[in-house]
Structure 1
Amino acid sequence: MKRIASIVLVAALATSLFTGCGTNSNGAAASGAVASAGETASATDSAAAANGETIKVGAIYPSSGEKALLGTQNLRGTQIAVDLVNAKGGVNGKKIELVTADAPDATTATTEAGRLINQQGIKILFGSMSSGNAVAIGSVVAKSDALLIESNGIADQLTDVGNKHVFRIIDKGSYRGALGIQYSYDTLAAKIGKDPKDLKVAILNEDSSYGTSVAQGAVDRAKELGVNIVYKESYNAAKITDMSAMAVKVKKAAPDILISVSYINDAILLMDTLRQYQAVPKVIFGCGAGTTDPNFASTVGKDANGIFCMDMPTNLSIDVYNSDPELKSAVEEFRKKYLEMDQSVNSVPVGTECTFCGAYTFLNDILPKAKSLSADDLREAALSTKLDLVSLGFGLDFGEDGQNKLATANIGQWQDGKVITVYPDKLKNGELVDVPLPIASK
């Protein structure tokens, strides 16, 4: 792959902040150390850090609470990225030391971000598992000499508030909602025998910054295209236990397509309730975490067939990386290492793919170009880096707002218990089936 970013000469780097020795006497990089917030992994690592021989970076994910499983998976992606970079000699000869913090909620995320920055002296944070945590950490780095590299949270708010210390490598929520409407307009309308202008769409979304961003993107694109929104409602995913009233309203509105933005429990509850009230529309289009979760298909069973789900690209064919042998090798090693660490899964979770991409891209392609670890110099390095391909299958080009302008999402469809990618064309591995849904109510 041709890397658009200019290559910084080794000689020029000799006088940079990062010049130093982080390798063993035989030239091999030492393995990445992991320390919990407030403590280093060992006295040796502490001494190395004090002498400027390592670069500390932080990772803030939930390792306790209801999101602990996903948080642990995401942390592993960051850790493997650190390990791979250290195995190549680190960043300009300096070992990367990963310091972790547990943030089960936004309040804790705020506290832990402040602790890593102020007590550990960390300038680079990776996160964050959820949009709420990402926004919370973003508010801390905005007032600090540090950056957040976000690989999970998609709420528009993160990059729409003028925060110059946040960079998001993945797509944003409004893009995802808009893509759901656009794909319905361009492709699905004909499949269900409707003129695109005559489409009737309903939107149900959980009410956090994540769900709100996706839903608003769908509303805005529908308005641009002249698509009729016949029903829209939001709800609290953590508290809702009964969707009967919503199902009745969906049935009365009789949409052709239902856009759903959910987490896993409410996604399953919605499907159960729609079936119970015979209110299943011709198309169900999930634009977020709930419908992409493997538990969705395993719980809903065969009735999941034909349901659409949108998320970040994941587990792409290794041939996607043929243009960049170095990146291809890194992706292969990452997947191998993850599956050795987590033998409960057959493929790498999407969140883990994202956190690996964010950390590996920043450490491998951006950090080596920074003149120092100041937020301004790190920002300059990030903005100047342009890549044709990163491990998620798209390119990299950050706008002034910190949003990766080349980030895309994949549209998948559940087929016999597997998610088949049907969009974009260059990444698709199957064709559309079951449109309209076989279980659509008459």
Structure 2
Amino acid sequence: MKLTRRQFGGLAAGAALIAATRGSFAQGGPIKIGAVNPYSGAMAQYGDEVTRCYELAAEWVNGQGGLLGRQAQMVRGNATSAQEGIAAIEQLVGRDKVDILAGTYVTAISNAASESALNYGKLYWETNALARDLTDRGLPNFVRSGPSSNEFASRAVEGALKVVAARLNKQPKDLKAWVEHEDSAYGTSIALEQQRLLKEAGVNFGVGSHSARAIDVTDSILRAKNTAPDIWISTAYVVDTNLLLRAARDQGFKPAAMMLCGVGDTTETLEALGKDYLEGILLVSYPRPDVSEKYGPGAGAFLKLYRDKHGRDPIAPQGMNAFVGMKILFEAIKAAGSVDYETIVKAAAAMDKPLGAYETGYGAKFDAKMQNTRALPVVAQWQGGLVKAVYPAEAAAEGVSVVNVPRA
């Protein structure tokens, strides 16, 4: 039986463990936020990047006077799997005495960790995990400040229709698409929504799936190639994305447009495929510091903060999204006047900030399931070995426009 937010809240309020942990921390010390992310293994550099930007946001708010008269402090909890996510929560709450939990780069980890956080009566503030199921559960301690899989899916279809179809001079009914996805909750949730929207628009499409752990994805590429699509849209993780692109190159699969959702926009893919092959590949991506200041006011200031702290540019777009997500959390804490999860959720639910209020171009307006409805990805593109936002038009920096569609 699916429990409602109210029922979840009743269970949480009645747990003896919550009574033992809530309100047990000294009010004069820092507000501790446990950052649940993979800091080892294949996804470590992205988990590190998300948390680096949490830490950057904490330094920023501390420089503004902190939170409720206290300093914000990030505490890392390593989790490379769902089971480790549960263990990380137990350690962060039991040993490190954190007040709030946040994360994460991986949907499966977020799913398990947030349920564990509820057992301890703690807020789980999600910035980066995408699957719509995370908010659809109705967990009363769960808030997502960034986009969900639905926003990534809708932006992908919007890009296919308003960028690709327009460049090919085709109507939606004449456009052929292939939807490829890895088969976990992350890839599946995005692909299902893409299919719904493509069907609604009258686009002809085929669908394929693969395991993110696959070591050979040639069959996936050949299935797509046999349908001769105008656009190939893929949702995957970094390793399998690079495998898919290599297989496409090796098999001579070259549709007029290729689009990668949520991935493929970092130096790891650039080093794997090279800038010449990537030229013109479209990306549905978190907004990054290249967006125009009109679209994302303060994006340049974020980039300076990051460079000053780390001596280089951000390694992934997940970072600025995490920075903004943490800023929204800090605003909710200030409005709540408390670290109690129910009070913070109530304060977040009352937020009403327009698009363009943050560095990513986001606003803040949460629906009944505590999904931020004003957090939208952009369509970007590989151009000359760099990733540049190209859609919506107001997100593109001056002089930037779509190139190499159809692909040469």
TM range, smaller chain: 0.7 to 0.9
Preserved CA contact (<8 Å) 1:173 1:213: yes
| TM-score, structure 1 normalization | 0.80
TM-superposed CA distance for 1:375, in Å, is 1.6
* Structure exhibiting the larger radius of gyration computed from Cα positions: 1
Q: How far apart are the structure 1 equivalents of 2:295 and 2:236?
A: 32
TM-superposed CA distance for 1:312, in Å, is 0.8
Change (3 A) 1:319 1:189: closer
Preserved CA contact (<8 Å) 1:247 1:273: yes
Structure 2 counterpart of 1:114, from 65, 69, 90: 90
Q: Does residue 382 of structure 2 align to residue 431 of structure 1? A: no
Instruction: String of CA shifts for 1:380-401, please: whole Å, max 9, x gaps.
Output: 1111122231221221111121
TM-superposed CA distance for 1:202, in Å, is 0.8
Q: Does residue 239 of structure 2 align to residue 265 of structure 1? A: yes
Structure 2, unaligned runs of 5 or more? 1-23
Change (3 A) 1:332 1:218: closer
Which residue in the other structure is 2:329 paired with? 362
Structure 2 counterpart of 1:300, from 254, 259, 273: 273
Instruction: String of CA shifts for 1:56-108, please: whole Å, max 9, x gaps.
Output: 22111222222222222221111111112112221121222332211122211
Preserved CA contact (<8 Å) 1:361 1:390: no
Q: How far apart are the structure 1 equivalents of 2:97 and 2:166?
A: 56
TM-superposed CA distance for 1:320, in Å, is 3.4
Preserved CA contact (<8 Å) 2:54 2:323: yes
Which residue in the other structure is 1:350 paired with? 317
TM-superposed CA distance for 1:315, in Å, is 0.5
Preserved CA contact (<8 Å) 2:296 2:360: no
Q: Does residue 195 of structure 2 align to residue 228 of structure 1? A: no
Structure 2 counterpart of 1:397, from 365, 380, 387: 365
Preserved CA contact (<8 Å) 1:315 1:348: no
Q: Count the aligned residue pairs.
A: 380
- Partner secondary structure for residue 342 of structure 2: helix
Q: What amino acid does structure 2 have at the position aligned with 1:271?
A: L
Q: What amino acid does structure 1 have at the position aligned with 2:63?
A: A
| TM-score, structure 2 normalization | 0.87
Preserved CA contact (<8 Å) 1:297 1:414: no
- Partner secondary structure for residue 41 of structure 2: coil
Which residue in the other structure is 2:57 paired with? 81
Q: How far apart are the structure 1 equivalents of 2:240 and 2:387?
A: 19
Please give the residue correspondences for 1:397-416 in structure 2 after superposition, counting only pairs within 5 Å: 397-416=365-384
Identity of aligned residues (%): 28
TM-superposed CA distance for 1:371, in Å, is 4.2
Change (3 A) 1:190 1:96: closer
- What is the alpha-carbon root mean square deviation over aligned residues? 2.2
Instruction: String of CA shifts for 1:154-175, please: whole Å, max 9, x gaps.
Output: 1111111111211111111122
Q: How far apart are the structure 1 equivalents of 2:309 and 2:364?
A: 29
Change (3 A) 1:422 1:51: closer
Q: What amino acid does structure 1 have at the position aligned with 2:211?
A: N
Preserved CA contact (<8 Å) 2:181 2:234: yes
Q: Does residue 213 of structure 2 align to residue 247 of structure 1? A: no
Q: What amino acid does structure 2 have at the position aligned with 1:165?
A: N
TM-superposed CA distance for 1:366, in Å, is 1.3
Which residue in the other structure is 1:132 paired with? 108
Q: How far apart are the structure 2 equivalents of 1:293 and 1:434?
A: 19
Change (3 A) 1:420 1:378: same
